[in-house]
Amino acid sequence: MDSKILIPISLFLMIFGIVYLIYSTRNRERMALIEKGVDASIFMQGKANRVPAWKIFVVNIAFLLIGSGVGIFIGLLITTYTSLDDGAVYPAIIFIMSGIGLLTGFKTAKDLDKE
- The 10s digit of each residue's pLDDT in 43-84 is 666 656 677 888 888 989 999 999 999 999 999 999 889 888
Determine the Cα–Cα distance for residues 52 and 97; give it in Å rounded to an integer.
26
Q: Which residue has the higher pLDDT, 6 or 47?
A: 6
Which residues 6+ apart lie within 8 Å of 100 measured at CB?
67
User: How many CB atoms lie under 10 A from the CB of residue 31?
Assistant: 10
Determine the Cα–Cα distance for residues 73 and 89; give it in Å rounded to an integer.
11
Residue 45 pLDDT: 66
Determine the Cα–Cα distance for residues 109 and 23; give it in Å rounded to an integer.
26
Residue 7 pLDDT: 86
- The 10s digit of each residue's pLDDT in 80-102 is 898 887 788 889 999 999 999 99
